Copies of this chain bind each other. A is one copy, B any other.
Amino acid sequence: MAGPDRKPTIIDVARLAGASIKTVSRVINKERYVSPDMQERIEKAVAELGYQPNMMARSLASERSNLIGHLYGDAGGPYTLEIQVGLLNRCRAHGYHLMIEEIDYRSPNVEQRASAIVNQMRLDGVVLTAPVTDNPIVLRILEDAGVPYVRVTPQQESETSPSVRIDERQAAYTLTQHLLALGHRRIGFIKGKANHTATILRYTGYCEALTDGGVAVDPVLVEQGEFTYASAVPCARRLLDQPHRPTAIFASNDEMAAAVVAEAHNRGFSLPANLSVVGFDDTPLAEMMWPPLTTVRQPVREMAETAADILIGLLSQRGKVDWPKPVPHQVLAHTILLRQSTSRPPGKA
């Protein structure tokens, strides 16, 4: 109980176990060439002292920080949170710690900030989520610093870094087909934020499904939103107030779908009888709203876990060449969730 007040160091352990610090280090790091006897003595000493290796010292000496960073752009949403949960799961399992950094990708000093994050903290690896995934400055900094990174993004697969995604185009295609199959012909669409890759892919899927189904894409039925509830309200209004209004609306994410639903309720429509609505993402909101929303589930958590696995897998074999060729790309399965916000269009019972 007496003993020195400060935290025990490896030296204390070595002394107590009657070994050299180097040998203690070996035990801590599970290296080979330690006799069972010695190992036991050292482990006992560690336990007795409650010794915990100092990460800082470890990192300094070994050039490995055991830190993984999550760089993301828009603070918000359940998406980011799910990503973190997934990352955390894997980090914990593999002895890494997670450092999260929001980065304003529009700000003029992204460069400075990204560089500070990466270089000062000496992150071992980084996971990027949209829209940071598309920022060339950030990517360059990571490349320059030689920090491996994995991107979680629906974007075009790249030669230089691994990525994890679902097939967003296909998902949107299938979801649109579902509406067509129900008999809808006038299907409104609310796009996401301009320039986001997801926006483009989801819209493409919608267009292709219509075309393949023999329905022309009508620009009057396409609105530009920004992935937020508020942004979708005016879109929903314009769509619903048209004289010849759509019988179904495909919103590019669940939040915007919620806005459509709210506007429909406001007008006294009964859903889905008067109007079918579908969203995208399957955020918690989707099943909490009324009627529960037909949408497509993106396995966000699994995607994050996969990203972490790829990253950690690489880190563990560092010293090799940069990336295995070809660079790994994972496409995870999505799920179309048919809930109660869709039905046959009015008059086509």
Q: Which residues of A contact B (CB under 8 A)?
A: 7, 50, 52-57, 59-60, 65, 75-78, 80-81, 84-85, 88, 92, 97-102, 115-116, 119-122, 229, 255, 258-259, 261-262, 265, 284-285, 287-292
Contact = CB atoms under 8 A, between A and B. Distances in A.
18 contacts: A50-B115, A52-B119, A54-B122, A57-B60, A80-B81, A88-B101, A98-B100, A99-B99, A100-B100, A229-B284, A255-B284, A258-B288, A258-B290, A261-B290, A262-B288, A284-B285, A288-B289, A289-B290
In the complex, the count of this chain's copies comes to 2
A70 to B, nearest CB: 9
Nearest to A230: B287
Given A97-B101, A99-B97, A115-B52, A78 B75 contact: no
A101 B116 CA distance: 22
B102 A99 contact: no
Given A75-B88, A100-B100, A258-B289, 6 more contacts: A52-B116, A54-B120, A56-B122, A88-B100, A88-B101, A261-B290
Nearest to A145: B7
Contacts of A60: 54, 56-57, 60
A154 B68 CA distance: 33
Contacts of A265: 290-291
Given A258-B289, A288-B259, A288-B285, A55 B98 contact: no
A33 to B, nearest CB: 25
Contacts of A98: 99-101
Contacts of A115: 50, 52
A81 B85 CA distance: 11
Contacts of A53: 120
A91 to B, nearest CB: 9
A122 B9 CA distance: 13
A100 B97 CA distance: 8
A139 to B, nearest CB: 18
Nearest to A54: B122
A90 to B, nearest CB: 12
Contact of A52 (B84, B102, B120, B255): B120
Contacts of A102: 85, 88, 92
A237 to B, nearest CB: 15
Contacts of A261: 290
A75 to B, nearest CB: 5
A262 B285 contact: no
A284 B227 CA distance: 14
B99 A7 contact: no
Given A99-B98, A288-B259, A76 B81 contact: yes
A276 to B, nearest CB: 16
Contacts of A75: 81, 85, 88
A42 to B, nearest CB: 18
A120 B50 CA distance: 11
B54 A56 contact: no
Contacts of A101: 88, 97-98
